[in-house]
Amino acid sequence: MADYDGTNATDLIEGSDEADVISGGNGGDEIYGRKGKDKIDGGNGKDEIRGNWGADEIHGGNGKDLLLGGRHADEIYGNNGSDEINGGLGKDSLYGGRGDDLIMGGRGDDQIDGGKGDDVIYSGLGEDMLSGGKGSDLFVFDEVDDTEPVNVDLGDLGAGGLAAYLAYLASLDEGVIQTKTITDFTSDADSGDKLDVSSLYDGFDDVMWEYSEDAGGVLMQLDVDEYVLLTGVMELVETDFLFI
């Protein structure tokens, strides 16, 4: 293990192949964790931090930071400031903190919490657990395993509807269904959260969704085997969506 301390100036810090403890100090720093399970704190300033290899713990500190996880299961905290966070590969835990953050899960079953502020959250690939936190947040879904959604006529599914269809698909091949979950979606025409599925659907009338009492919320289809569950939500309306 090695300790690295920055200065009040702009520092370039590169960790070792072991588990390092790195503090950027004041100033806009550029920090590379390299290999090992590192603990990195950017401190004050507009920092760029890359965890690289290893299950790292990264804190942006104060400032508008760029925080990149890497290949393993990272914990990333934006803290204060409007940060850009990308988990990369692995089962990451990403926390925006205060500020209007841009958070990208990448590949893996991630947990994302936007915190306070009007955040933009890209789920990416995997069974993610999403929370926007306080503020008017935008949830973007633009990556699926197949090229486009395959709509199923709900009238052909019988009484169980979409929830029954999901259970049927899951029974065919364990793990075939991927469900992302939004735990705190709020619907309001002026100040509520928004869903961006414009890369998958042309407009609101094309979106396939259904309320499921068994699931405890609305199920929205992204692809033939990928869905979003919005817990506690009874219905979706056109003003819940942003199409660009």
One digit per residue, pLDDT tens: the chain, 244 residues? 667 666 777 878 887 788 888 887 887 888 888 887 888 888 888 889 898 887 889 998 888 889 998 888 899 999 888 999 998 888 999 999 999 999 998 888 999 999 999 999 998 888 899 999 999 999 999 865 543 434 444 444 444 555 555 555 555 554 556 789 999 999 876 778 999 999 889 999 999 898 888 788 998 988 877 889 999 999 999 999 998 8
- Strand 84-86 vs strand 111-113: parallel, antiparallel, or unpaired? unpaired
b (16+ CB within 10 A) / e for 213-231 = eebebbbbbbbbbbbbbbe
Question: φ, ψ for residue 146 (rounded to 5)?
Answer: -105, 175
Structure tokens at 195: 């869903």
Q: Are strands 57-59 and 209-212 parallel, antiparallel or unpaired?
A: unpaired
Give the Cβ contact number of residue 189 at 10 Å: 9
Closest by alpha carbon to 168, among 156, 185, 180, 182? Answer: 156
DSSP 196: E
